[in-house]
Structure 1
């Protein structure tokens, strides 16, 4: 029921928005964020957005979203210009014809998302989860990873899945309502305090099940300010460069920005793969405007998963995916 509700909510926002357009609210660029230490967090902490936007007369406003569902609702109502989310919600955006394009991969997920089981539960393998209650956030990258792991062992129909937001997962875990959960940081670290990891997204990526956080931009913003979209890419690429060349400085900045310890921030950042602009354009990821990369296939396969789960009504075609994933702004940022 909740799966259908997610789709209905997105559709209702589309209908009420009537093709709502983004407006320059006092020359503000409205950017959706999630509470993870990634390139965007580093860019904010280092004032890179101010560096690129203020001189052109634009201020940046950062708006927190706890889920990609909420970010998609904001896109459909025209109340946001950019937002990051798990790539599964990017597929939902495309399937529901939201006026957005994918322009960047923030990080390929790894050990920062994992399936954790309670200590003392006698669960030693994924097969041992049969008959157990497992929490995750539906339509998320964790949901995709969890189901793929369960399918691989043939028990995806033999467990009870519960749809919860990250804070709810931690609370249910502490109450003893669930025996396992697939979630992400920072809640993941709370689960690990009294649990152990069965499998994580890095292990699944090694088996070809790739998940990632991505960034979308509203098409109306593209039409009005294409040059600012290029600057946005430069900002993120500069943050990636800082992390690769001066990791301690980037970690410290993200730590202060999120109010996390340096050690926790370091653990989370090292649990993902960061891609610079050149790597984004490689055949393994977004590819170029002329030669789409492997991530286009990942997007299609995720559409198959979401369709099977009832989260979308139609699987986006490869042609639609090629149109949706726009590498041109990265190319322009690199002077290509």
Structure 2
């Protein structure tokens, strides 16, 4: 009897030891080249942030973590691996996220959309580009043309909304074909397509590389867009502290991006090949998208809109209970554990602020409507200027000095959109002041209403040189 009791006690002790020494997989699917997912993947991985927050006490005492990372170029294959049980976490935009939720339910499982990573309540980030030498200047010029897009992506939704706003039939007035970004780049170079619609960062990356021009920005649809993080629901119920740890790592990654966007834009370039100047366009101050981890009502609305569009595209006929699919419990706990006020962040819609002195006068910049910037290659910080004319005058001097320029940034006078200035249009008034615009027609309309001359980047620089 004593022997049996001893053996039973030993068995319980062994079982308890095995439980406390459990091996916990943390398998995370990332989209490294979709750069606004950086705070949910790339930076956490490259900076080793996750290990700082993984729980190591209580029921996790002696637990062994096996962290696995897998990179994807889009959300669909990431979703396939989540549904197959090969991944626990994933990051993607609202369209593939909505489909992720549907796909899990169709497989008798559930996923949860747990946080926002980066987004725009107006829709900035997605866009439409044309070959650099194309005569097309706006979406209105694309009637009857061939437009490619990654199917069932956020960019697909933006394209459909833009076409509907023109009063066109998407099945008759344009030819829409499926094309991934890596294929579209080649097609644009060789003029095999008339236009391409895409998500972050390709609508700005392709123009930056010189073979495309942006003719439409997603903000023109005024439809919210974002990328966010998902987790397998069963995993979250079993390991809620691990989910909070992942989100805390994302909070730190987000804070690092905001505090030193140049440094981390360069890191993203090193890992992905996406040029730092394009990363800075999104992650830098007053950027195309807002560094935001909170569940703003507009982002909840974006998921609902994505689901309806997926139904229109006949990609699903299933409803999704967004009140349970979107789950803010874990991110609220992560904010509290990190000492950050979630409700205050939830109410804050401001982009990353620009705190800089004018590179010419040394005076603090206080009016951000006309601010412009220059990133000189090899310099740790982007130079800021109080006006686009001051920046372009400085650019001429820098080029005379033989400086290599990464990028020039300006802000659209009508929308406030951050622009790559060498892709922008400008209106020069009688005082020599410049106003920047995304599109030629916007610049011409402004010039007609307010006086002045609409010029492209080359033309405005020639005018400035002639007046020196």
Shorter-chain TM-score tier: 0.7 to 0.9
Conserved? CA contact 2:114–2:328, under 8 Å: yes
Residue of structure 1 equivalent to 2:322 = 321
> Which residue, 218, 243, 251 being the options, matches 1:237?
251
Distance 2:181 2:248 in 1: 31
Conserved? CA contact 1:31–1:63, under 8 Å: yes
Residue of structure 1 equivalent to 2:129 = 116
> Which residue, 276, 279, 290 being the options, matches 1:273?
290
Residue of structure 2 equivalent to 1:101 = 112
1:196 aligned counterpart, secondary structure: strand
Aligned-pair distance for 1:247? 2.6
Distance 2:333 2:88 in 1: 19
If asked which structure has higher relative contact order (CA below 8 Å, sep 6+), I would say 1
Aligned-pair distance for 1:74? 0.8
**What TM-score does the superposition give when structure 1 sets the normalisation length?**
0.80
> Which residue, 210, 227, 236 being the options, matches 1:213?
227
1:27 aligned counterpart, secondary structure: strand
- The structure where helix makes up a greater share of residues is 1
- Residue 340 (structure 2) pairs with residue 300 (structure 1): no
Distance 1:145 1:79 in 2: 31
Distance 1:132 1:48 in 2: 47
1:22-41 alignment runs, 5 A limit: 27-34=24-31, 35-37=33-35, 38-40=38-40, 41=42
Residue of structure 2 equivalent to 1:190 = 206
Aligned-pair distance for 1:168? 1.2
Distance 1:143 1:253 in 2: 29
**Which range is displaced more, 157-166 or 88-97?**
88-97
Q: Which aligned segments of 4 or more residues in structure 1 are displaced greater than 6 angstroms?
A: none
Deviation digits for residues 239-274 of structure 1 (CA, Å, limit 9, x no counterpart):
111222233333333333334443233234333221
Residue of structure 2 equivalent to 1:18 = none
Conserved? CA contact 1:100–1:219, under 8 Å: yes
**Which range is displaced more, 45-54 or 184-193?**
184-193
1:63 aligned counterpart, secondary structure: strand
- Alpha-carbon spacing, 1:28–1:160, altered in 2? closer, same or farther (3 Å): same
Residue of structure 2 equivalent to 1:248 = 262
Distance 2:278 2:298 in 1: 31
Aligned-pair distance for 1:196? 1.6
Deviation digits for residues 69-119 of structure 1 (CA, Å, limit 9, x no counterpart):
111111111110001111101111223315210001111156543101123
Residue of structure 1 equivalent to 2:78 = 71
Distance 2:278 2:97 in 1: 28
Distance 1:119 1:196 in 2: 5
**What TM-score does the superposition give when structure 2 sets the normalisation length?**
0.58
Residue of structure 1 equivalent to 2:217 = 200
Aligned-pair distance for 1:187? 4.1
Residue of structure 2 equivalent to 1:162 = 177
Deviation digits for residues 151-190 of structure 1 (CA, Å, limit 9, x no counterpart):
1011233100011111111122223210100113554423
Residue of structure 2 equivalent to 1:9 = none
Which structure 1 segments of 5+ residues have no match? Answer: 1-23, 286-292
How many residue pairs get aligned? The number is 294
Distance 1:264 1:43 in 2: 20
- Alpha-carbon spacing, 1:58–1:186, altered in 2? closer, same or farther (3 Å): same
> Which residue, 139, 142, 145 being the options, matches 2:155?
142
Deviation digits for residues 204-260 of structure 1 (CA, Å, limit 9, x no counterpart):
3xx2x1111111101121122110001111111111112222333333333333344
Distance 2:174 2:22 in 1: 47
Residue of structure 1 equivalent to 2:195 = 180
